[in-house]
Amino acid sequence: MLDKKNFFVFGMAKSGAAAALLLARKDYSVTVYDDDKEVLSVFMATPETAGFENRIKAVDKSGASESVRRSDCLVLSPGIPLEHALVDTARKSSVEVIGELELAYQFCSSKVIGVTGTNGKSTVVNIIGRILETAGKRAVVAGNVGTPFSSVVSDEDAFDIAVLEVSSFQLDTIVDFKSDIAVLLNVTPDHLDRYGDSFDEYVKSKARILNRSDAETVFVYNAGDNACLSMAAGFEGRKIAFSSARSLEEGVCLEDDMIIREWSGRKERVIQRSEFTPVGIHNAENALAAVAAVTPFGIEKETIAEALRSYHPLPHRMELVRVAGGVAYINDSKATNVDAAVKSLRSIDGRVILIIGGRDKNGDFSMLLPHLDHVVKVIVLGEAAAKIESAIQGQRPVQHASSLEEAVLAAKETAEPGDTVLLAPACASFDMFRDYTDRGDVFRASVGAL
């Protein structure tokens, strides 16, 4: 692939920008394009891009198709639909189509830990990174977590292990990419708007984390998830299971609220769950997955325990914003699908006022019904508001809000001391916000203004 001379990078947000700059640093000719003229202009105006004016050139919409035909390889940012006309042009012109992750992998000789799943990816890669750092390993955390792999791979001398968050969108465009340790956390319905409303197609995408696996590949999987179990059954390499629900003869599990690791004939008590700050059984599972992922490195349990004790949750993930008037306000803006929202609800004892809604990803909101017993009111907003109200079927009082600020005020009016106001949208944010972080920041500001 790297013998190609002319690359066309489509999508100039973080990932595409990093891909273009990586190629320019490696002396390749790069044509860049984005459907959004402003995004493209911002990239071309950055000082770093200006330093490669002889290698990076931009095209507008009128010249994009012809530039794709003349290129050797089309590099896609993860958010670009595979049905886009330019992707179709590339394929009809026998131009190879890859993603930014695949491109970066071509320049990587380090060991790769690839982490995918519907929920928990960012948390798990950061916990893995913390454990490896505590153990004195030279590791970098990158990928869908916020730092594109292409941004770090140029400085590969700085690390020996790449811990990568890998989304289904990124897996859709890999070719040679291979995880030395492949971690599959869970697979529940999400992004079905991209996969033709087919959960099976979404599962197939996640299964690509095992792309090019061999006898030396280690597969870390959730023993409590049906899709994970199915993939593990057909996997012939080394396997490490994790489970929060049952004991395992070999793997990492919870026993009496203690994280237990059984591996190579040894049973070790690693840490009490209560010593790990993030709340909720789903975060306990994230810790189990991370411990399983680092097990092949032979890291002592004391080092792992030290890393887990010092780990603090990422922003917008079950984040306690404040307690005001005896009411706790929790920001879980990263709960962008129904399963994540369910896990948020299950993590809270006592009465809850739930703020939910946004852009629907073809989620099944009826999955919420068994978990509303402690919810006293549901405040809905965004494009999915009516669909969510219909799914709740009158089981709980529903109030509509035209903005997140209005939703927070409505929640305050309902809440009593001891209650929790939970933002768990179960939806994408793009109908009202730039992204989930923007949504979470607005929630924080609204709560702060109470």
In single-letter form, the type of residue at position 148 comes to P
User: Is residue 393 exposed (0-12), middle (13-18) or buried (19+ Cβ within 10 Å)?
Assistant: exposed
CB 214 within 8 A of CB 237: yes
CB hemisphere CA count around 38 (13 angstroms): 0
Which pLDDT does position 116 carry in this prediction?
Answer: 98
CB 101 within 8 A of CB 177: yes
Which pLDDT does position 407 carry in this prediction?
Answer: 99
Q: What Cα–Cα distance (Å) separates residue 126 from each residue in 38, 206, 293, 311, 352?
A: 32, 20, 12, 9, 29
Q: Kindly write down the DSSP assignment for every residue of 62-84, as one continuous string.
A: HHHHHHHHH-SEEEEPTTS-TTS
Cβ-count burial 1-14 (b if 16+ within 10 Å, e if not): eeeeeebbbbbbbb
Quote the CA–CA distance of 363 and 30 in Å, as a whole number. 38
Nearest to 46 by CA among 35, 32, 60: 32
| Residue whose tokens read 């948020």 | 344
| Residue whose tokens read 């049952």 | 246
pLDDT tens digit at each of 450 positions of the chain = 677 789 999 999 999 999 999 999 999 999 999 999 999 999 999 999 999 999 999 999 999 999 999 999 999 999 899 999 999 999 999 999 999 999 999 999 999 999 999 999 999 999 999 999 999 999 999 999 889 999 999 877 789 999 999 999 999 999 999 999 999 999 998 888 888 889 999 999 999 999 999 999 999 999 999 999 999 999 999 999 999 999 998 999 999 999 999 998 899 999 999 999 998 899 999 999 999 999 999 999 999 999 999 999 889 999 999 999 999 999 999 999 999 999 999 999 999 999 999 999 999 999 999 999 999 999 999 999 999 999 999 999 999 999 999 999 999 999 999 999 999 999 999 999 999 999 999 999 999 999
Largest CA distance in the chain: 65
Which pLDDT does position 176 carry in this prediction?
Answer: 97
| Residue whose tokens read 């087919």 | 198
Our measurement of the distance from residue 279's CA atom to the centroid of its chain's CA atoms, rounded to an integer in Å, reads: 18
Q: Which domains does the chain have, with CATH numbers?
A: 6-102 (3.40.50.720), 108-310 (3.40.1190.10), 319-448 (3.90.190.20)
* Predicted structure pTM score: 0.90
Three-state secondary-structure class, residue 355: strand
Nearest to 123 by CA among 343, 425, 355, 349: 343
Q: Which conformational region is residue 80 in: left (phi greater than 0), alpha (psi within -120 to 50 degrees), or beta?
A: beta
Which pLDDT does position 279 carry in this prediction?
Answer: 86
Which pLDDT does position 319 carry in this prediction?
Answer: 93
Q: What Cα–Cα distance (Å) separates residue 228 from each residue in 113, 182, 240?
A: 17, 12, 12
Angle at 74 between CA 72 and CA 79, to 5 degrees: 175
DSSP state of 428: B
